[in-house]
Structure 1
Amino acid sequence: MQHIVTLLIAILIFGLIIGIHEFGHFIVAKLNHIQVNQFAIGMGPKILHFQKGDTEYSLRLFPIGGFCAMEGEDQSSDNPNAFEKKAVWRRMTVVLAGAFMNLVLGFLLIAILISTAAKVPSTTIAKFASDTNAAGETVTAAESERSGLQVGDKIVAIDGSHIFSTTDLIYKLQTTDKASYDVTVKRNGAKLTIENVTFHNDKTDGLLDFAVQGKAKNPVTVISYAAKDTVATAKLIWMSLIELVTGKYSLQDLSGPVGTVSVIEQAASTGETILERVQSVMNLTIFITVNVGVFNLLPIPGLDGSRFVFLLVEAIRRKPIAKNREAMVHLIGMAVLFLFMILVTVQDVGRFFQ
């Protein structure tokens, strides 16, 4: 029964993320008076479909993709409402709209999560870990306090990398193999950098040796933090992609749809209450949707980022690249991406049976 529930949650998450992405392309295309021939959620055989106006809407069997097929997108068309007939800047907005909507979804989910919390997190130090010595006196258990950090310091950067939210802060400390850091803080209205700061909690033997302040919850603080945390999550994903390319992570560290379902099952069982489990699933959904948004902006053939590059070249040279050549590039790119997905899925299945 648990596996069925997990599968349903996974289908809901994939459908939401794919649907919001394709809806972004769809609605901006409509706003630019571009004819949309097909709008589909999922891939493969149609489960449900209907025609409304010029557009066929369909729900398909496999929830691992979707598409928004526009007239004149990959082939020439004499239709005045064809994609290729519109101004370059209009086509650019259509291409970028999918990734943008994924980031918007991440922002909205973060805002909802913060709204369920008692306080809005910050990067300002509220207190340090403490302990009791042999004489019964309360002493610090935080190495970062001994290194020079103080209560009230707002952490704005670590080793030159800007800290937008607690997501940034935790990621930086947990993924960097360093003994000490250069921490830039805002103290008494002025910025200063404290060198060779070590983070260590004597009581827990962990890195997090301080707690951050919580701000009062209101529309301004919630929206502000949600925006910062969306940027922080996108930055985290971008840094992970760089680390993958530079060899810090290998292909064995990647997961496809099957592996993601396994992670969703873990998230759905994390927490003692239903609210905590829902929050855990929402956190994972935030990461996935922002990941989809960032990844789609990469200039890889077949992705939105590549289509944007072709439009940018067209805008610079004032002449479009031949449709057949562009279509071939995207076709090869999609074939490689599907092959890559198959390899990662096989790897996920192997892990499952192990």
Structure 2
Amino acid sequence: MGIVLAILALSFLIIIHELGHFMVAKAFKVRVNEFSLFMGPKLFSFQKGETLYSLRLIPLGGYVKMEGEEEASEDDRAYNKKPIGVRAAIIAAGPLMNILTAIVFAFIIISQTGYFTTQIKDIVPGSAAEKYDLRVGDKLQKYNGKTLFNVNDLGIFSYPLTNESITLQYERNGVSKTVELTPERENFILGFTPLQDELEGPDSNVVKAVSDNSPAIKAGLKVNDRIVEINGADIRTRKDIRDILQQNQDKNVNILVERAGELQKLKPVVPLKSKNPEYYAIGILDFVHEKGSIGSTIKEAAKYNIFISRSIYYSLGWLFTGTVPASELMGPVGITTTISNEVAESQSLKETVIRLLSITTMISINLGLVNLIPFPALDGSKLVLLLIEGIRKKPLNPEKEALITMVGMVILIMLMLYATFNDILRIGKG
């Protein structure tokens, strides 16, 4: 079921993208010869009016083939006969449809789940935040001079950092203040997912899932185990676990669990050193959660997409600088698997829909923005070529433009094959 929903979600986003090109082309009376979903050999097609609608074998992109786009045409309705502004609108319509879809989906999600503000709700005792007088009620505004539109921006801004100090700008009682502090980025974990996310929830010490190759699995921790004691200290919540592991750091821990009503001692293990989420590294335990009006929900949906947009472009930069290894590239198989896993973990129909919409939103904004990059075969490169044509006051040769697109397409297919190879390796490793 998850795989089917994943394929449908990806197909929907491709259709939306190509539909943007198609509708604007039709609106400006451009002749469309073919509307294709996917690439490669034709699986199915039908003719309606002047346009051939087709489904192709390789689930990679799609296209709208317009008269006069790849070769010169004397047809009055040909793409190459239209003004630069019209052609730019047709090209930009695909990515913009994906961006608009992401905003609509984000609005639906936030209207159901609410959203976290940047206002501090709780602070970790003894943390950097408490030391430097951050207080409950303060609203975070900027991180190292960069505006925080969403609390998740903290993770993006801090990703390439190690032990550097950071500058936080926040608002207290209507007045902006600035503080410089050094986050506590190192954390020690056992490697399990709790049944309850709340740090001090009554079932936050119950195991929901155990991570592969983690200290937890080496100790013998199992799903539904309740951790009741670590190194002789009573455990009632996940907060107790966290506090003891931070004190213990890289020394052996002895874990006692309640399993099927009986107490069982596990094998001693050394906790794994991990990187804290930045909000926690700063010392913020929780942010204020709200469920607002239609206006505020639209605003938060836009902010969420700004966060996703920035994370995409930061990630691309990290790939070139080596901050993120190329092996992290994800192809169609990986994307489909990710969507399928998200759906499989859902506990209800509503949660399934929310999870599916959430990851589809991220992929949609990704598809829209990446297509605006000025790389051959992507919409961004076509917009740059139109800009060059406008500066030269002379139309470009459609055959040369088609050749540039072909070279770019070959490179993109090679990247996709490499990413798919990465996907298969990841699946093989479990």
Query: Common fold, TM-score beyond 0.5?
Result: yes
Q: Aligned residue for 1:137?
A: none
**1:62–1:7: structure 2 CA closer, same or farther, 3 Å change rule?**
farther
1:127 aligns with 2:122: yes
Which shows bigger deviation, 153-162 or 88-97? 153-162
Q: Aligned residue for 1:324?
A: 399
Q: Aligned residue for 1:136?
A: none
Q: Aligned residue for 1:171?
A: 156
Counterpart selection for 2:309 from 234, 240, 251: 234
Q: Where does 1:25-44 land on structure 2 (aligned, <5 Å)?
A: 25-44=21-40
Cα deviations by residue, 1:96-115 (Å, 9 ceiling, x for unpaired): 11111111111111111111
The structural deviation recorded for 1:95 is 0.9
Distance (Å, rounded) in 1 between the aligned partners of 2:419 and 2:140: 38
Distance (Å, rounded) in 2 between the aligned partners of 1:66 and 1:220: 35
Structure 1 contact 296–304 (Cα < 8 Å) conserved: yes
The structural deviation recorded for 1:45 is 3.7
Counterpart selection for 2:63 from 61, 67, 70: 67
Structure 1: which 5+ runs fail to align?
130-139
Cα deviations by residue, 1:292-331 (Å, 9 ceiling, x for unpaired): 1111111111110110100000111111222222221111
More helix per residue: 1 or 2?
1
Distance (Å, rounded) in 2 between the aligned partners of 1:46 and 1:36: 18
Q: AA paired with 2:183?
A: T
Counterpart selection for 1:160 from 145, 161, 164: 145
Distance (Å, rounded) in 2 between the aligned partners of 1:318 and 1:231: 35
Q: AA paired with 2:152?
A: T
Identity %: 34
| TM-score between the two structures when normalised by the length of structure 2 | 0.74
Cα root mean square deviation, aligned? 2.1
**1:69–1:25: structure 2 CA closer, same or farther, 3 Å change rule?**
same
Residue-pair matches, total: 339
Q: Where does 1:1-354 land on structure 2 (aligned, <5 Å)?
A: 5-117=1-113, 119-129=114-124, 140-173=125-158, 176-196=161-181, 198=183, 204=242, 206-207=276-277, 208=280, 209-354=284-429
Structure 2: which 5+ runs fail to align?
188-238, 247-275
Q: AA paired with 2:133?
A: G
The residue matched to 1:116 in structure 2 has which SS?
A: helix
Q: AA paired with 1:184?
A: Q
| TM-score between the two structures when normalised by the length of structure 1 | 0.89
**1:189–1:68: structure 2 CA closer, same or farther, 3 Å change rule?**
same
Distance (Å, rounded) in 2 between the aligned partners of 1:271 and 1:142: 34
The residue matched to 2:152 in structure 1 has which SS?
A: helix
Structure with max Cα Rg: 2
Q: AA paired with 1:253?
A: E
Q: AA paired with 1:336?
A: I
Cα deviations by residue, 1:3-38 (Å, 9 ceiling, x for unpaired): xx2321121111011111111111111122211111
Which shows bigger deviation, 292-301 or 191-200? 191-200
The residue matched to 1:79 in structure 2 has which SS?
A: coil
The structural deviation recorded for 1:278 is 3.1
